[in-house]
Amino acid sequence: MITRDDVLAAQQRIHGRRVRRTPGIAVDPGTSNLWLKCEFLQLAGVFKTRGAFNRILAGLETRTLDPARGIVTASGGNAGLANAYAAAQVGVPATVFVPETAPAVKVARLRKYGAAVQQVGREYAEAYAAAIEFSDHAGALFCHAYDQPEIAAGAGTIGEEILTDIPDVDTIVVAVGGGGLFAGIAAAAGGRARVVAVEPVLIPTLHAALQGRAARRHPRLWSRRRRPRRETHRQHRLQRRPAHRPRQRPRRRRRHHHRPLSPVAELPHGGRARRRRRVRRTHQRRLPARTR
Ligand SMILES: Cc1ncc(COP(=O)(O)O)c(C=O)c1O
């Protein structure tokens, strides 16, 4: 578990030289006490830059990071960008594992930061496993997206800044993914403010973790996750129909399986007239000739 001291140590390490001190702005000055922390203005555009710098610089201090072997991470998102950026600034090589389905724009940006990008597997878990294996074999320092003390403490410097800028803040609301940002800010607050974690209903990982179980994929995510993210609905429908079986028109239902019974005679339509003729013929045969 990290404490406020870890956050203060991270602040010493990264502030000024490595990351921006982002502004907190009042949403509606004078009428509301709601503030926003503008972390989108952070270097590389993501708050994860704080944790990435803290992990890399701490690694150099403790010699757990060999500058020749560099760092490795698994993320096609913000953590990948942050680590690639921080490694380039510090001057160590970075290898980033992403799934094959990672958006091309993200891969291009990682390469722009000088990272070696490895695309492995269709799901994040496969890219993650490959990154761990790479770390073991190549001796690169693994930088997790959220689950390491230095990463969480680095993110926690946001909480320190909030409490310095707005000392009487009573509640800090934090978006949760893996929980690193929340853990860091809660450590920084150290009881000085209430810290509220907010997570998506469909991916309740923190709730699951607090209940001591792994998060289960929400049923509403099942069908979407089965196909690659970039595939359109139309492509999906076309794929489901095998090429050798062209679309067939729906067969018209046969109107009547058998001829319906006439409601009057309980005979098939057309049978009633036939029956009348037959009856007439029989009567004619039986009646005496003079009455015909
Ligand atoms: C913008 C933003 N907010 C919040 C989070 C959650 O951070 P954590 O994974 O540390 O909980 C993320 C994670 O990627 C993020 O990108």
Nearest ligand 1 atom to alpha carbon 145: 9
User: If you take atom 4 of ligand 1, which residue's CA is the nearest one?
Assistant: 175
Is the shortest distance between the CB of 198 and ligand 1 below 6 Å? no
Whether 105 and 97 have beta carbons less than 8 Å apart is answered as no
Please report the pLDDT score of residue 248 as a whole number: 64
Is the shortest distance between the CB of 180 and ligand 1 below 6 Å? yes
Q: DSSP state, 217? A: P
The Cα–Cα gap between 83 and 75 comes to 9
Q: At a CB cut-off of 8 Å and minimum separation 6, what does 195 contact?
A: 159, 171, 172, 174, 182, 185, 186, 189
One digit per residue, the tens of pLDDT, for the chain of length 292 reads 999 999 999 999 999 889 999 999 999 988 889 999 999 999 999 999 999 999 999 999 999 999 999 999 999 889 999 999 999 999 999 999 999 999 999 999 999 999 999 999 999 999 999 999 999 999 999 999 999 999 999 999 999 999 999 999 999 999 999 999 999 999 999 999 999 999 999 989 999 988 887 766 655 555 444 455 555 666 666 665 555 555 566 666 655 445 444 444 444 455 666 767 776 776 666 555 454 4
Distance (angstroms) between ligand 1 centre and the Cα of 148 equals: 14
The Cα–Cα gap between 121 and 277 comes to 81
Secondary structure element (H or E) that encloses residue 73, with its range: strand 71-74
Nearest ligand 1 atom to alpha carbon 181: 10
Relative to beta strand 171-175, strand 141-142 is: unpaired
Distance (angstroms) between ligand 1 centre and the Cα of 28 equals: 25
Is the shortest distance between the CB of 157 and ligand 1 below 6 Å? no
Please report the pLDDT score of residue 137 as a whole number: 97
Please report the pLDDT score of residue 215 as a whole number: 64
Q: Taking the mean position of all CA atoms in its chain, how far away is CA 46?
A: 17
Q: Compute the half-sphere exposure of residue 155: CA atoms within 13 Å on the CB side of its CA.
A: 29
Distance (angstroms) between ligand 1 centre and the Cα of 166 equals: 22
Is the shortest distance between the CB of 76 and ligand 1 below 6 Å? no
Secondary structure element (H or E) that encloses residue 26, with its range: strand 24-26
Is the shortest distance between the CB of 175 and ligand 1 below 6 Å? yes
Is the shortest distance between the CB of 179 and ligand 1 below 6 Å? yes
Nearest ligand 1 atom to alpha carbon 39: 1
Is the shortest distance between the CB of 181 and ligand 1 below 6 Å? yes
pLDDT tens readout for residues 156-198: 999 999 999 999 999 999 999 999 999 999 999 999 999 999 9
Is the shortest distance between the CB of 158 and ligand 1 below 6 Å? no
Please report the pLDDT score of residue 74 as a whole number: 97
User: If you take atom 13 of ligand 1, which residue's CA is the nearest one?
Assistant: 177
Q: DSSP state, 254? A: P
Is the shortest distance between the CB of 53 and ligand 1 below 6 Å? no
The Cα–Cα gap between 144 and 193 comes to 27
Average pLDDT taken over every residue of the chain: 85
Please report the pLDDT score of residue 245 as a whole number: 57
The Cα–Cα gap between 127 and 99 comes to 5
pLDDT tens readout for residues 206-229: 999 888 877 666 555 554 444 555
Is the shortest distance between the CB of 42 and ligand 1 below 6 Å? no
Please report the pLDDT score of residue 262 as a whole number: 42
Record: fold of 1-168:
Rossmann fold (3.40.50)
User: For the chain, which residues make up each domain, given as ranges?
Assistant: 1-168, 260-284
Please report the pLDDT score of residue 268 as a whole number: 47
